[in-house]
Structure 1
Amino acid sequence: MDVRRLRMLLELSRLGSMHEVAAEIGTSTSSVSQAVAALAREVGTALVEPDGRRVRLTPAGHRLAEHAVTILAAVEAARLDLDPDAEPAGVLRVAGFATAIRRSLMPAIDGLRHEHPGIEVRLREHEPPEALGLLARDDVDLALVYDYNVAPASWSSDYDTLPLWEVTWGLGMPSREPRAPLATFADRDWIVNSRHTADEEVLRTLASMAGFTPRIVHRVDALELVDDLILAGHGLALLPRGRSSRRGVAVRPLTDPTVRLRAFAMTRRGRDRWPPLRAVLNRLVQASEGPSAAQTASTSAATCW
């Protein structure tokens, strides 16, 4: 298969219009149409079908476009591997939760500006299920996600997973209240994340171990609002320890078990050989190995889960 034709098919899968593909790669619409038709003859099956005045990929076209990502990345990696003077360059699309963007990605971007200025990072803030959905559809190249040690996620084998850092979580409550076993709060209202169910799973697991079922009343995304609700007496919540909570809100330690949020960088299997992605992954690891990673991560979680 012709690599240039594969690239046109991949761009068509992303842009949805042969006219836009032509503008993107600097050629004519008829050239794009002829290239896609020639590629269809090479593989022996239809890759596009009419959709009103436009075209859309057939199921076979979508499958080949998915292969094209890996094929084109491998071709580029091979070319760069044989060119010792080549500089990683290209657009890297990242989806991740806000704490990881602050804690890991932003320092990585700052470092890349000087080391590899040809890399452009475009980010989207999403919770793990949303980020992984984008990664599965090849709408992003890298997902920054998390789970909890008490409720570990089952990641697909289609992904390569790179551990980054961990943050200890505790019980958020009014500071005027004394420390007590979790079972003491069985009759209280509880607050959980509105965009992801992982912390709710942790809460239900801890409550089950303590012999009660939590009454979940509020679902909130911003941790400052969680602080406000706790301070006003509207419920308790699991919160990261070490962050600057509102005055009057304390985050008590949880033991037996200790609860830890674990951050990961995830890519489609085999894609990390692409030089821009490899450069960013290396930077993420360096940021995670910096001083007091857990403390920095907790502090940066001030506005998000």
Structure 2
Amino acid sequence: MDTRRLQLLLALSRLGSMRAVAESHHLTTSTVSQQIAALAKETGAPLIEPEGRRVRLTPAGRRLADHAVTILAAVDAARLDLDPDAEPAGTLRVGGFATGIRVSLLPVLADLASSHPRVQVIISEYEPVEAFRLLVDDDLDLALVYDYNLAPASPDPALDTMALWSTPWGLGVRAGDATADGADLRRYADASWIVNSRNTADEDAVRTLAAMSGFTPHITHQIDSLDLVEDLILADYGVGLLPMNRPVRDGIAVLPIAEPTIIMTAYAATRRGRTNWSPLRLILDGLRPRKAALPQHDWPRQTTSSQLNRGAAPV
């Protein structure tokens, strides 16, 4: 559908006559009439009808004129986005896990608010499985996701990922059950295990670790919030994976796991071919990968539902 013809149809809906449209676009009345007729042929519907010595839009013509407003605005926005000299502007939809948003995204947005005020960002909290699906469906522009070295993610071929930072994880147990030489997982073969309810990578890592130690884990609880995981451990309801460098409350110990170690890595994920969009490019340039593991002060001590759009955080 030719956008120039849509412009003429929209002008006709506003100006009311072929002659007025021709004058405003520096065309002949005959040319305008021919272009509207060609548009009608493209759409397969009559767009104008006679009204005395003039013409008016048919119901189909009025509906198409309404669509033309949105279509032409989108085309103009696309031209601005592709103009390397244009100021970045637009609304960026970001989804991801809480710590990734807190650690990687929010510092970038703090600078962006003053340097590029025409870029708006909408933030939603999602687990990686959810964020990947929304990104593939084009319902997100950027996803902050994570995986474990024992349970690597397999993003859709339509997506690109960039590693941001990594941090080691260990086994969270009651402090009274801790040993000085780290976690011997065989001691917990009969324990109840706690895994994430919305991301299968956590459970996959637990099952892999257990298999390497010669047992099948008894997975009982599925919890998103790390604070709630701690509550269950303190109440002797089970054991579960926790970040090694995240502060924990009294009565909890996080034991290192060796051979293999567990490493969680955070990523920025985008749809392939979209990174040249200037608002997204600004964010990606600000999400500089860390060489070191996530430090302790970057982990939240507590996470509440009021801190982000949805629920409690998995990490």
TM range (shorter): 0.7 to 0.9
Match of 1:252 among 232, 255, 258: 255
Q: Indicate the SS of the match to 2:279.
A: helix
| Matching of residue 145 in structure 1 with residue 148 in structure 2 | no
AA aligned to 1:158 is A
Q: Indicate the SS of the match to 2:294.
A: helix
Q: Judge conservation of contact 1:164–1:284 (CA < 8 Å) in 2.
A: yes
Distance, in Å, in 2 between the alignment partners of 1:104 and 1:94 is 12
Q: Structure 2: state its 5+ residue gaps.
A: 15-35, 45-62, 64-70, 304-312
Distance, in Å, in 2 between the alignment partners of 1:211 and 1:138 is 42
Equivalent residue, structure 2, for 1:112:
112
Alignment map for 1:129-278 (pairs within 5 Å)? 129-179=129-179, 180-278=183-281
Distance 1:88 1:233, change over 3 A: same
C-alpha distance after superposition, 1:46-92 (max 9, x if no partner): xxxxxxxxx9xxxxxxxxx9xxx9x988744432x2x2xx3211100
AA aligned to 1:254 is I
Distance, in Å, in 2 between the alignment partners of 1:73 and 1:159 is 23
Equivalent residue, structure 2, for 1:87:
87
Q: Indicate the SS of the match to 1:203.
A: helix
Distance, in Å, in 2 between the alignment partners of 1:162 and 1:73 is 27
Distance, in Å, in 1 between the alignment partners of 2:189 and 2:41 is 63
Q: Judge conservation of contact 2:108–2:286 (CA < 8 Å) in 1.
A: yes
Q: Judge conservation of contact 1:245–1:302 (CA < 8 Å) in 2.
A: no
C-alpha distance after superposition, 1:95-147 (max 9, x if no partner): 11111111111111111112211111101101011111111221111111111
Q: Judge conservation of contact 1:74–1:273 (CA < 8 Å) in 2.
A: no
Q: Indicate the SS of the match to 2:299.
A: helix
Aligned-pair CA distance for 1:231: 0.6
Q: Judge conservation of contact 1:91–1:119 (CA < 8 Å) in 2.
A: yes
Aligned-pair CA distance for 1:41: 2.8
Aligned-pair CA distance for 1:3: 6.1
Distance 1:220 1:87, change over 3 A: same
Equivalent residue, structure 2, for 1:300:
300
Distance 1:181 1:282, change over 3 A: same
Q: How many aligned residue pairs are there? A: 248
Q: Indicate the SS of the match to 1:221.
A: coil
AA aligned to 1:146 is Y
Aligned-pair CA distance for 1:253: 0.7
Q: Indicate the SS of the match to 1:273.
A: coil
Equivalent residue, structure 2, for 1:50:
none
Equivalent residue, structure 2, for 1:78:
82
Equivalent residue, structure 2, for 1:279:
282
Q: Judge conservation of contact 2:95–2:123 (CA < 8 Å) in 1.
A: yes
Distance 1:178 1:296, change over 3 A: closer
> Bigger radius of gyration, 1 or 2?
2
Aligned-pair CA distance for 1:293: 5.2
Identity %: 49
Distance, in Å, in 1 between the alignment partners of 2:165 and 2:301 is 13
Distance, in Å, in 2 between the alignment partners of 1:172 and 1:221 is 15
Equivalent residue, structure 1, for 2:57:
none
C-alpha distance after superposition, 1:139-184 (max 9, x if no partner): 1111111111111111122011111111110000011113241111
Q: Indicate the SS of the match to 1:228.
A: helix
C-alpha distance after superposition, 1:204-243 (max 9, x if no partner): 0000000000001111111111101101111000011111
Q: Judge conservation of contact 1:73–1:273 (CA < 8 Å) in 2.
A: no
AA aligned to 1:177 is D
Q: Judge conservation of contact 1:170–1:240 (CA < 8 Å) in 2.
A: yes
AA aligned to 1:239 is L
Distance, in Å, in 1 between the alignment partners of 2:203 and 2:171 is 13
C-alpha distance after superposition, 1:220-276 (max 9, x if no partner): 111111101101111000011111212110111111011011111111100000000
